[in-house]
Amino acid sequence: MKQGKTLLVLLVLLILCGGVYFALRSYNENQEDVDDTIYLTDLGEVTTLSFTGTDGSDLSFTKADDVWTWNGDSTFPADQDALDALAEDLGQLATVRVFDEPDSLDSYGLDAPALSCTAANADGDTVTVLLGDEVDGNHYAMVEGESRVATVAATLADELQVSLMDLAEPENIPDDTQGTLASIRWQSGDTDLLLEKETITEETTDDAGETSTNTTYTWTVNGVDIPEDNSTLNDLVSELTYLYFTSCYDYKADADTLAACGLDDPSLLTMTEEDGTVITLSIGSTTDDGGYYYAILNDSSAIHRLSVSVVETLTGLTQDQLTAEPEAAE
């Protein structure tokens, strides 16, 4: 009899423990779905942004039909990704820490904010976020007109510390490979090198009757054959394969700016593709820090920065190097 009661008690305890276990598991699973982040703003999708750039320019942008446009000039090549990132951060600005009863604003550098940005959504809801001193890798922040102070990630401060041209999207240089190029011409001072490619395609059939195609390329420079595996040619093609502008310097350059950048009498890189498309890069002088060259794509009015390594590969080209036989392996 006692043994039966003991078993009954144990069974009840087992059931209770099981119930508690499943209840706790359910609670924990539900807690994983709860977002306990406190947000300083809650605009949703932001469609207007306005702040002052590091160069003193008025950086006011409007988004319509999924495209950001600078209010100062609709032809400005606005960096869509950068503005989308800023708008997303301001649309729902997450806090790191919140001070519901803050000290005086000068304790946080918010009496005279170093940075600020006004954002609005399509419904006209508008907030101005103020950023103060840096603290532990974050920044003190508040919404203008509210008393609550918080810290937010430094990402927002980084996004706001830009000039107008930092928000200019560089033009894209078309991607090319040895297979898509028909010719390369480099003209600089007394140097004029024309490299032309010939494509050789051979079909072979194996013992099983399977046909395969093998494509090889041969090049000439000013009519002289370039040996196979010439390192100078390989380096040149490698640089041209990954050709891109790092940033935009001026999107509407006038004659004075062109001259100042050495683009009134530029060196010319002309690449002709197999389909007849011609890509021309006009290359001027180096930037003040020597890290880049100024360059223009085709007949664009925009001046961009181009990697020094690309231009140094071009300026180092000689016909003797291009026609030199590869050194034999020891």
The one-letter amino acid at 73: D
- pLDDT, tens digit (0-9, with 9 covering 90-100), for 259-273: 999 999 999 999 999
Q: Rounded CA gap, 304 and 319, in Å?
A: 29
Domains identified in the chain, total number: 2
**Domain range for 284:** 181-323
Asked if 207 and 136 sit in the same domain, the reply is: no
Q: Rounded CA gap, 116 and 95, in Å?
A: 16
Question: If you average pLDDT over every residue of the chain, what do you get?
Answer: 90
Asked if 189 and 298 sit in the same domain, the reply is: yes
- pLDDT, tens digit (0-9, with 9 covering 90-100), for 179-192: 999 999 999 999 99
Q: Rounded CA gap, 132 and 155, in Å?
A: 14
Residue 233 has pLDDT above 90, yes or no: yes
- Residue ranges of alpha helices (H) inside 54-213 are 80-91, 155-160
Asked if 132 and 187 sit in the same domain, the reply is: no
What are the CA-CA distances from residue 234 to residues 54, 199, 309 (Å)?
Answer: 42, 16, 14
Asked if 106 and 220 sit in the same domain, the reply is: no
pLDDT band at 210 (very low <50, low <70, confident <90, very high): confident
Angle, vertex CA 37, rays to CA 34 and CA 41, nearest 5: 125
Asked if 110 and 197 sit in the same domain, the reply is: no
Select from 42, 63, 47, 40 the least CA-distant residue to 124.
Answer: 47
Asked if 125 and 203 sit in the same domain, the reply is: no
What are the CA-CA distances from residue 167 to residues 51, 87, 159, 197, 251 (Å)?
Answer: 13, 13, 10, 39, 11
Asked if 223 and 281 sit in the same domain, the reply is: yes
Q: What is the pLDDT of residue 208?
A: 77
Residue 318 has pLDDT above 60, yes or no: yes
How much is the pTM?
Answer: 0.81
Select from 216, 192, 194 the least CA-distant residue to 204.
Answer: 216
- The set of residues, in sequence order, having a beta carbon less than 8 Å from that of 295 and lying 6+ positions away, is 245, 263, 281, 282, 283, 284, 303, 304, 305, 306
The verdict on residue 134 lying in a domain is yes
- pLDDT, tens digit (0-9, with 9 covering 90-100), for 19-54: 545 544 544 444 344 458 999 999 999 999 999 999
Q: What is the pLDDT of residue 18?
A: 52
Q: What is the pLDDT of residue 3?
A: 52
Residue that terminates a domain, selected from 167, 196, 229: 167
Q: What is the pLDDT of residue 25?
A: 56
- pLDDT, tens digit (0-9, with 9 covering 90-100), for 66-98: 999 999 999 999 999 999 999 999 999 999 999
